[in-house]
A and B are shown apart, each in its own frame.
Chain A
């Protein structure tokens, strides 16, 4: 009997969903569009090193070892691509080239630079001229200045080393060497800070899953308003079986959403010029566990919204508005790592953040199911709490 009730309810709910193509389309299209737009638009921001590679057009009129040291300092920085021009180019021509080649910077080292580096009180910096294109932001400009200053310092140190060499043994090695840098999500993996697509696929996948709140709560409210809920209560079917049958198709729909969004990250984003989502080595069990847990949380939330709302309009406001708030504070719309500390603390309150963090652990650190159990457990507990509160509210409404 129970199985028949579950099957009847599940089939009915599937038919209702199938005959509402606009909603179905929204549930798949909305997160897919967000993934595409946000992954492509924010790709620069997520690039390791702080943004896109800016081209620096270099005119080395000094053609000296010290000038080469400065230029090498720029080359070592992943944020810059160095293109050397002919030494004869003057300042006006350099500026013209910057515009023509859509470069970020121009760097001109005048003749006499090395002489100034070696001379007491030579002021070598006065031989270095930097031209900045209008598109360059202050942050990028500061990076370039730091790189040039580092090169100048290294050139001066090498000059000092040359002058001291006859007197003392001095090894200037190590100046400008690479520093040990580890990224927040990196763990032991090289270059593991989230890329744009790695951040946006799980973020909008979680957001999309939570949007089942609207169709599910609307269906339940319509049942209440039409008297169908009351009619079902007069049948011998138990409430648990009816609820299970109702939730199963939405749960399956959530899993399809998860698969579809991963495919968007794997194929559609790169097809449109973005970086592909890297899933090699990501444990499937972890992805499955997180997708199940996020779905449980979303379904529990949907039941609570349905129980608290009297009309479909209220449910749309409560469910849709609630989703947007949970996404805003949960690091879905703006990544948590760019938030100020106070806001970062706030993200812990959003179940969407728990889902996102679990997925990010899987994508960035290849975390196994056990490692994301905390996030999955919290999501499932949230879903169960939603079901319990909805049951309590529904019970009071029925009295």
Chain B
């Protein structure tokens, strides 16, 4: 559905590329996570995919179309920006009507689109309230609903759940799951790793404009988290334990949790023996699979290969 190869982009007057030889693939109907710290180049990539920013170098194809076909790109896709990009003094309905108008949506398409947005984003009962008077969570939902008013085939979500309460977060992630079921291809950026891990079936991590890692979520977790052993101790251990664990590059996540590099099962066994010989009580051991957040942070710290 979306294929990006060797994408390079540099803004005028800047010394380094905002994007450098970035590769990015998203299959039709899938939900792809695009991860990276602030300034990594995510927004630039989304702007090029949206047809807002011109392609400088590389190959981009969206459903077989090139970025030169801006009209089609903009009609077929929709961006839900990180900020609540709508008018506070207009009601939710008026905002939806306005954005429907600029998408050229009218008549039955407008009525169907409104019904769909309200249902998916859970805006029933607040349509005639002014947007500025809605709670933060409902504003986020309206922000999402506006992005759905043209019933896009491709949806770009830029941190759609930032700063919302648990109920609205659940509503939004539920809406995203619904959209995916409906066949919408979704590119999702977020700093909430547990969300990304739960929702996305494909991940691309970019940092400083370069692709650090890309692949299926499970593959990445296994590939980059496969040699780690996370040990949780029952009590805070003596300081001397760190020296004992040095052969396995200990990283203390907190006073009782330590991550160790265990390249094979022999190393894992050696670690367990060392802990036992020091008389340390173990509460829990996890081996081979890490949380996405740990993988992500390690990728940013040490880089990775795709």
Contact = CB atoms under 8 A, between A and B. Distances in A.
Interface of A: 1, 4-5, 7-9, 11-12, 15-16, 19-20, 226-228, 230-237, 242, 399
A5 B101 contact: yes
A399 B13 CA distance: 10
27 contacts: A1-B104, A4-B101, A4-B104, A5-B101, A5-B102, A5-B104, A8-B98, A8-B100, A12-B90, A15-B89, A15-B90, A19-B89, A20-B89, A226-B83, A226-B84, A227-B81, A227-B82, A228-B85, A230-B52, A230-B85, A231-B81, A231-B146, A234-B50, A234-B51, A235-B74, A235-B99, A399-B11
B283 to A, nearest CB: 46
B94 interface: yes
Given A230-B81, A233-B52, A399-B11, A9 B89 contact: no
Contacts of B75: 236
Contact of A235 (B11, B12, B103, B106): B103
Given A16-B90, A227-B85, A228-B87, A234 B98 contact: no
Interface of B: 11-12, 50-52, 71, 74-75, 77-79, 81-87, 89-90, 94, 97-104, 106, 146, 150
A15 B90 CA distance: 7
A64 to B, nearest CB: 80
Contacts, number: 79
B82 A8 contact: no
Contact of A228 (B12, B86, B94, B103): B86
A205 to B, nearest CB: 28
Contacts of A227: 81-85
A236 B12 contact: no
The prevalent SS among residues of A at the interface is: helix
Question: Which of B71, B78, B83, B87 lies at the interface centre, i.e. has the most chain A CB atoms within 10 A of its CB?
Answer: B87
A233 B150 CA distance: 15
A226 B102 contact: no
B174 to A, nearest CB: 23
A11 B90 CA distance: 11
A310 to B, nearest CB: 16
Contact of A231 (B51, B85, B94): B85
A39 B37 CA distance: 63
Nearest to B86: A228
B163 to A, nearest CB: 14
Nearest to A7: B101
Given A234-B74, A237-B104, 9 more contacts: A1-B104, A5-B104, A8-B97, A12-B101, A15-B90, A228-B86, A228-B87, A230-B81, A230-B85
A225 to B, nearest CB: 8
Contact of B71 (A12, A232, A236): A236
Contacts of B85: 226-228, 230-231
A249 B12 CA distance: 36
Contacts of B71: 236
Given A12-B94, A226-B84, A234 B101 contact: no
Contacts of B87: 12, 16, 228
